[in-house]
Structure 1
Amino acid sequence: MEDRQIVELYLARDESALARTAEKYGPALRALAENLLEDPQTAEECENDVYLAAWNSIPPHEPRDYLFPFLARIARHTALDRCRERSRRKRGAPLLQLTGELERCLPAPDNAAEHLDDLVLAETINRFLGSLSQESRNIFLRRYWYMDSVAAIAERYALTRSKVKVSLYRSRNRLRESLKKEGYDP
């Protein structure tokens, strides 16, 4: 079923929208959550939370042309909330490693608020991503959006782990330079 048709089911408040969403995007949403949480049971709970959040937010949102990114954003935020909850309870989370890799590239929230609002920062990052080759962009997004491991990325794109690590290193450096040119101070 096409995304537009699924969104129309949500808008009509037809509960079959949930089943159609789960059928089409369930495995991808669960994998996204599991990459962050490293716990299949909690990832499944996050997936169910995504369906509830989608039900509650369509309408007013009408993501006819971008349903999966809309759902993936909800899944990612839901999983990140679970990671934060774990951290508060003194449990480890894979999020800390990835945050450490990017923290030297991105400005601190206080500096970003002083210089430009979040929308300008997002536009700068989008321009940066657009400047990368397709391979580098895919590697970067798989690591920092989907939270895939270096090994999983290497396997997915038939690359060596070393090549993936070098690509990520160079992309982070380019991002840092791009942000410096825009007036951000990481």
Structure 2
Amino acid sequence: MKVTEENFIPLLCRKHEKALEYCMLRYGGLVKAVVHRYLGSLPQYEEECQNDVFFAVWNHIDAYDPERNPFANWIAGVARLKALDCKRKYASRMLETSWEAMEETGQPVIQAEFSAELQAVEEEFSEETQQILACLKPKDRELFLRLYIEEENMEEVSQSTGLAKPVIYNRLSRGKKRIRSLFSANRERSPRL
């Protein structure tokens, strides 16, 4: 059976290996571009991340809904999420490695290299986080930052803000709904790839 644009998704759902090969050939360039955009500062991990993307497509093709998005948009979203996961994973490893290398060699130059890369990664996350949270009111934005970014516990935040826990949970819930609605609206308006 010949794999085509029209039949590769149903074949992927049935775990047809030729359909995965077709997907890799047809959408490999897009996946590579998305991964490179997020892992440009960590090029040694790009190929591994691309493999993770296609592995995720293989395992979770049933999550794809053609009514919501074209396949190109869906796989680009998968690639983005995998690249961000990879960046987080290796950014923490870079920091650990830099400390170990400094302890073993006593060379602060290695520390400086890793610190510069890690700082670039953190700045990119920070910019993305600020863009996402920009739609919230300042007080709600502060709650998100303290609970999800700075990882403070609910008790501390409740005491320092004077807000009861149910009020905080309510604000977080409304904030999450707002973020979801804005991003799903943006996804629907974005041009097809």
Same fold, TM exceeding 0.5? yes
Change (3 A) 1:102 1:19: closer
What is the CA-CA distance between 1:117 and the residue it aligns to?
Answer: 5.5
Residue 138 of structure 2 corresponds to none
2:178 is paired with a residue whose SS is helix
Change (3 A) 1:30 1:113: farther
What is the CA-CA distance between 1:119 and the residue it aligns to?
Answer: 3.7
Residue 56 of structure 1 corresponds to 59
Q: Give, in whole Å, the separation in 1 of the partners of 2:12 and 2:188.
A: 32
Q: Give, in whole Å, the separation in 2 of the partners of 1:82 and 1:121.
A: 23
What is the CA-CA distance between 1:129 and the residue it aligns to?
Answer: 7.9
Change (3 A) 1:125 1:8: closer
For the pair shown, the structure with the greater C-alpha radius of gyration is 2
Change (3 A) 1:71 1:103: closer
Change (3 A) 1:123 1:17: same
CA contact (8 A) 1:33 1:76 kept: yes
Q: Give, in whole Å, the separation in 1 of the partners of 2:187 and 2:75.
A: 21
Q: Percent identity?
A: 24
Q: Give, in whole Å, the separation in 2 of the partners of 1:45 and 1:27.
A: 15
Residue 81 of structure 2 corresponds to 77
- Number of aligned residue pairs: give it: 131
1:63 is paired with a residue whose SS is coil
Could you give the per-residue CA deviations for residues 115-166 of structure 1, whole angstroms, max 9, x where no partner exists? 51534322134557889xxxxx78xxxxxxxxxxxxxxxxxxxxxxxxxxxx
Structure with the higher fraction of residues in helix conformation: 2
Q: Give, in whole Å, the separation in 2 of the partners of 1:47 and 1:22.
A: 10
Q: CA RMSD in A?
A: 3.0
Alignment partner of 1:29 out of 24, 28, 31: 31
Residue 123 of structure 2 corresponds to 97
Change (3 A) 1:128 1:44: closer
Residue 5 of structure 1 corresponds to 7
Structure 1 length-normalised TM:
0.57
Residue 178 of structure 2 corresponds to 120
Structure 2 length-normalised TM:
0.55
What is the CA-CA distance between 1:113 and the residue it aligns to?
Answer: 5.4
1:73 is paired with a residue whose SS is helix
Could you give the per-residue CA deviations for residues 14-58 of structure 1, whole angstroms, max 9, x where no partner exists? 111111111111011011111211244421111111111111112
Mapping for residues 149-160 of structure 1, pairs under 5 Å: none
Q: What are structure 2's unaligned runs of at least 5 residues?
A: 96-113, 134-140, 148-167
Q: What are structure 1's unaligned runs of at least 5 residues?
A: 132-136, 139-186
Mapping for residues 155-170 of structure 1, pairs under 5 Å: none
